[in-house]
Amino acid sequence: MFTKLVLFAVLAACGVQSKQATSPDVQLGGDPAKNAKHAAAARDWLERQMQMQRELHVASNPIAPDEPDDLPPGGGAQEGQHFCCDTINHEKQTGDGCVTIGESHVELCPNVLYCGGNWSKTEDGHAQCND
């Protein structure tokens, strides 16, 4: 929304009217060199604003470490884990569409996969017991 507002302000400052903006065949008025200079300045200003927004976003949302949240830090021993899954293969002890849940939430899930001390889960929700 902010970007559209800035874009419209820049276009209005350059002398572009809404009728002209809808037809690419209409020549813009004014000095072309001056219009190009103003457009370049507006692009530079907009790029600086967007870079500042990206930096603020990164500062407020620190990047998580490379380790998945489901694995204990330092590669230590894992504890048993319950997974609520869309589908489960009991023979292979795997599940798809899984999210980790606490033991107190087992009753709320129709398909629960429990893994003992050795398990893995990918970002796409595939869980596997490695016991």
What tokens were used for 105? Answer: 């939430």
Mean pLDDT value of segment 51-68:
64
Is the whole-model pTM more than 0.95? Answer: no
The continuous run of DSSP H or E covering 64 comes out as: none
Domain ranges of the chain: 2-60, 73-129
Distance in angstroms (rounded) separating the CA atoms of residues 92 and 126: 12
- CA distance linking residue 15 with residue 13, whole number of Å: 5
> Residue 96 — pLDDT band, cuts 50, 70, 90?
very high
> What integer is the mean pLDDT of 51-57?
78
